[in-house]
Each structure stands twice: as structure tokens, then as C-alpha cells.
Structure 1
Amino acid sequence: MMLLGAAQLSCITAHADDNSELAKKAQNPIAAMYSLPVQYNWDQKIGPSGNGMHSVTNLQPVLPFSLNSDWNLISRTILPVIDQHGLVEGGAADKSGIGDVTQSFFFSPKKPTSNGWIWGAGPALLLPTGSDDVLSAEQWAAGPTAVALKQSNGWTRGMLANHLWGLDSAPADDKEQISQTFLQPFFSYTNSSLTTFGINSESTYNWKSHQWSVPVNLTVTQLLKVGGQPMTVQIGPRYWLESTTDGPEGWGFRAAITLLFPR
């Protein structure tokens, strides 16, 4: 039997600690770590006929910047690539292309509070980058965003929120002026094999139409390394508890890969 020396045991322990810390940071939306999530969402039963389908691939780079010894600035971008079919008869809404970009900035203390809370707040912007008028709100919007979370003993729980107001009182093509609140409560547990079981909702309330969109996502996420590159792989179902008129219904699907670049 081959016995490990103290130096080897120390190296193995340090490696395990590094991986555990990396898995922990992967569950923190404002961790001071470069990352590139690529997230695919598929939904169904959309449109007046209930036969439409809609898929969105979100490219979501996260860029941290150190402002000083006490504060970080975390940039989070969401660039959606949309594919939708069968929403209305005649195929007028059958489109594929780029949607509007959501850009958020979080000013976040480098150290948690005395109670262990991690938080950040700042501005959020909606940029009318849609490649087609069907895929875009065709207006600029802005508002506040904030996130707060706590991590301990493998558990992560928290909430991310924002509110966006349309900056154009008369958007193009008779589009509705944006006034919407986004709420994302999240709760997860990471075990000793660095597998994370999570549940979250990405609820949106439209203050103009007074309607909720409430999908609930159940996910399993695994931290691994491929060719030395750390990443997480995620998969899971989603279910729409509430939806807007002609919005998605029933079950959907989510899969994601996130490349991690620890500093």
C-alpha cells in the first residue's frame, strides 16, 4: 500500500478547497470572477393558437473590476439570441435573431457584512439592439438593480431584482412603454461532489398590462474541468406558474455551460 506524505495530503486538501471555493463562487452572481455563461431556454404553447415555440440562448459575460481596497464593480450583460416559430398564423412572428441587451452594473463591497451577507446595487439598462422589430421593444429603458445573498454550509440563498422604465414615452411601432419589475429569488445546495441542486424563479411584473410571468426553474449543476478549464454544466426543467396573455405555458427546458476564469 502506498502511503501519502504530509506534503501530498496538503496539496490534495488545498486542491479540494480551491474547487469548493470555485463552486461557491459559481453560485454567486456578483462574485469577483470572470465568467461566461451560455444559457439555453426552450418554451412552448405560445401565441393565440397555443402551438408556438420559443427558444432563447443567452450569452451572459460577467466582468469584475476592482475599484479600490473595499469595492468591486461587477458588470453583467445578457445578450439574447432568439428563435421563435408558430406564434401567429401566417408566420409573421417566425423570426430568428438578436434581442435587446440587458446591461447591469453592481457596486459591491469586497467583504461580506458581519452577518455574512453579500450584496451589490447599481443601474440596469435595456439597449434596443434587436435585429428585428418583432424581437425588440424598440426603446431604451433604465432603472435600479440590486442583489443580496448569503452562503454557508453549502447553501446559497438570495434575491436579484431590477426595475426598468422606458425612456421613450412614445415607442416606435406602437410598442408599449416599458415599466416592469424583475424578481429572481434563488436557493441552492452544493454537496461534497460539487454538484449543486437549485431552484429559482425569474418573475416579471408588467405594470402596464398588470400581468405576471412566473417561470420556476429546477436545476442540477456540476463543476468540472475539461483540459484544465473549469466550468459548470447545468440542466433542468422549467414550469410556468403564471404567464402573460399568449405567453408560454406548461413545461420548458433549460441547459447551460459556464466557463469560469478564477483570478
Structure 2
Amino acid sequence: MKNKKIYHYIILTVLLLSVSMTYAQDAGSVGELAKKLANPVASLISVPIQTNSDFGIGELEGSRFTANVQPVLPIRLSDDLTLITRAVIPIISQQNVTGIGNTETGLSDVVLSGFFSPTPKAGGLIWGFGPAFLVPTATEDFLGTKKFGVGPTAVALKQTKGGITLGALVNQIWSVAGDSDRADVNQFFFQPFIVKNWPSGAGVSAVFEFTQNWEGNTTNLMFNPNVSGITSVGKQKVSFSVGPKFNLIAPSETRFDFGMRAQISFLFPKAP
């Protein structure tokens, strides 16, 4: 059964790749929009919805589906400074992860980030720095931490005329309040990425996600290569991306055998 699910997702990847590349070729001059999309602190309003499907989790061979709604809103503070606000709102449904026959579905904890980003010089380093907040919004005990958290977050990247973006995002969150019966949060997250975009709007990227739980002394490293494209649905600009996920390092209780990530982003190129 597990292998059938994996094959279905591989077929879906191929189909979505074909569709997204075709749309990207028809979309016209969208290369600049794709370049902005590769930049986490670009002045681009967007509403990405990222889905993650993981199979064969832990000894119970569980499964988990996560939909991350990630609205991004840039706020221009001056000619030289922009505040980029970003939320990650996870909605999770998992089976056989916490126990045989157990199912948990609901909202997980929300992470809010704000990046103060100076206007970059042409061809210069693009960067942003600010606070990150963990908000205990989980609707089920197993889906969240029951802790309020805060810490710094930063992003830095470089974009070339050849359509390559190379950068990294990082944050560190510590819990500062919440349920005293739950474990404290002390977690580091590091996400290096490289993206290659073409003038058609098509692109390929490679993303690593490293998470270190200092409190629980656990390490996770995930690799996600993906392909992407941009098209228009009526007047609405939309980006698609899809690719597999690979566990490179993970504790046995959370390691998955196979995963897929797909994302659709609604783009609003005009700055507020």
C-alpha cells in the first residue's frame, strides 16, 4: 500500500511538472516575477500554500499531511527600508504517528516573522533581520508545544544576472511562557537554498532544512529539490512548484520513508 502511494505521488510530480513548464512557456515575460519570488524579502505580496505529504513515519509507519498557509506582506517604511511580514500557519492531519489507530487533525502552532530589509544596491547583497514569534495556536495536544516563543530571524541572498539566487534563512526560537507541564522550546532552524530561474518563469531549486532541537537534543536535515513555473489564471498570477523530500538526518521516531512537497502561490506584483 505504501509503495502504491509513493508511485501515485511520483506520477503526480511528473504531471505537475509538465503542466507548470507548459504554463511557464506561455506566460510571457515573467522572469522578473520569478526572480522576486525566489527572494524572501522582495516587495511582493504573495499567499503561498505549501503542502507536505510524508509516509512511513517512525516505527508505526505513520503518515502526515501538512498544509502551510504562508501569507507575505511587504510594508514600505521609507525609501531605504521595508518591513517584510510573514506568517506560517500549519494545518495538519496525521495517522498512526502517536499510536496505532490514532488520528490527529487540526491547526498547529503559528510562526510570525518580520524582516527589516534595507533597499539593496543593484547587484548587491540582499538581507533582512528581525523578530520571530511562536504562537501556541494548536487545536490538539500532539500538534503543538503549548508555548509562546520569541527569537531572532534573518535572511541573506545574492541574485545574479543569469537568474541564479543563492541564500539562506535562519531563526532561533526560545519559549518564554506557556504550559509549565510541557517541554521548553529551544530550537534552531537553518534553510540554505539555491534557485535557477529562466526568463519564461520556469525554475529549479534545491532547499535544505536543518532543525536542531537543543532541548530534546535531536537533529533533522531534509533535502527538497523542486521544479516550478508561473502562469496566469485569468488576471491572477500564480506560481506552482513540486518535488520530493528526503530525510538525510532524523530521529527514528520522526523519520519518514518518503515525502512530497507541492506549493501554489498567489502573486500580487503591485507593492502596497
Same fold (TM over 0.5): yes
Structure 1: 4+ residue segments shifted above 4 A: none
Q: What does the per-residue CA deviation read over 1:59-100, in whole Å, with 9 as the maximum and x for residues that have no partner?
A: 0000010101110000010000000001143434x1110000
**Residue 134 of structure 1, aligned match among 129, 142, 147:** 142
1:255 partner amino acid: A
Computed over aligned residues only, the root mean square deviation of the Cα atoms, in angstroms, reads 1.6
Match of 2:116 among 107, 111, 128: 107
SS in structure 2 at match of 1:24: helix
- Is the 1:47–1:86 Cα contact (8 Å) retained in structure 2? no
Counterpart of 2:24 in structure 1 is none
Choose the corresponding residue for 2:157, options 144, 149, 152. 149
Q: Secondary structure at the match of 1:140?
A: strand
One of 191, 207, 231 as aligned partner of 1:224: 231
Give 1:133 deviation, angstroms: 1.3
Contact 2:31–2:198 (Cα < 8 Å) also in 1? no
Aligned position for 2:43: 32
Q: Which has the higher contact order (CA 8 A, sep 6+)?
A: 2
Whether the 8 Å CA contact 1:48–1:88 is kept in 2: the answer is: no
Counterpart of 2:263 in 1: which secondary structure? strand
How far 1:212 sits from its partner (Å)? 1.0
* Cα deviation code 1:15-59 (max 9, x no counterpart): 955x2211110111111111000000011222332x101111000
Determine the C-alpha separation between the residues in 1 that align with 2:97 and 2:50: 22
2:204 maps to 1:193 = no
Asked if structure 2 preserves the Cα contact closer than 8 Å seen for 1:117 and 1:149, the reply is yes
In structure 2, distance between residues paired with 1:111 and 1:87: 45
Shift of 1:125: 0.4
Deviation at 1:115, TM superposition (A): 5.6
Question: In structure 1, the residue corresponding to 2:147 is in which secondary structure?
Answer: coil
Q: Give the Å deviation of 1:209.
A: 2.1
Paired with 1:16 and 1:70, the residues of 2 have a C-alpha distance of 31
Does structure 2 conserve the Cα–Cα contact (< 8 Å) formed by 1:38 and 1:256? yes
2:85 corresponding residue in structure 1: 75
Residue correspondence of structure 1 range 48-87 to structure 2 within 5 A = 48-49=59-60, 51-87=61-97
Matched pairs, number: 243
Q: Mind listing any 5+ residue stretches in structure 1 that lack a counterpart?
A: 1-14
Asked if 2 retains the 8 angstrom alpha-carbon contact of 1:197 and 1:219, the reply is yes
Question: What is the identity, as a one-letter code, of the residue corresponding to 2:173?
Answer: L
The match for 2:53 is: 42
* 3-state DSSP of counterpart to 1:167: strand
Pick closer, same or farther for the CA change 1:208–1:245 going to 2, 3 Å.
farther
C-alpha contact (below 8 Å) 1:171/1:177 kept by paired residues: no
1:213 is aligned with what amino acid?
A: N
Q: Is the 8 A contact 1:44 1:248 kept in 2?
A: no
Secondary structure of 2:120's counterpart equals coil
**Distance (Å, rounded) in 2 between the aligned partners of 1:185 and 1:40:** 20
Deviations 1:84-119 (A, max 9, x none): 001143434x1110000000000001224x761100
1:202-238 per-position Cα deviation (integer Å, ceiling 9, x unaligned):
2100112221111100110101111121110111101
Report the equivalent of 1:253: 260
Identical-residue share of aligned pairs (%): 38
Calculate the TM-score normalised by the size of structure 2: 0.85
One-letter code of the match for 1:69?
D
The CA deviation string for residues 127-149 of structure 1, in whole angstroms up to 9 with x for no partner, is 00001111110000100000000
Larger radius of gyration: 1
- Normalization by structure 1: what TM-score? 0.88
| CA distance in structure 2 between the aligned counterparts of 1:123 and 1:244, rounded to whole angstroms | 29
Structure 2: 5+ residue stretches without partners: 1-26
1:219 counterpart letter in structure 2: N
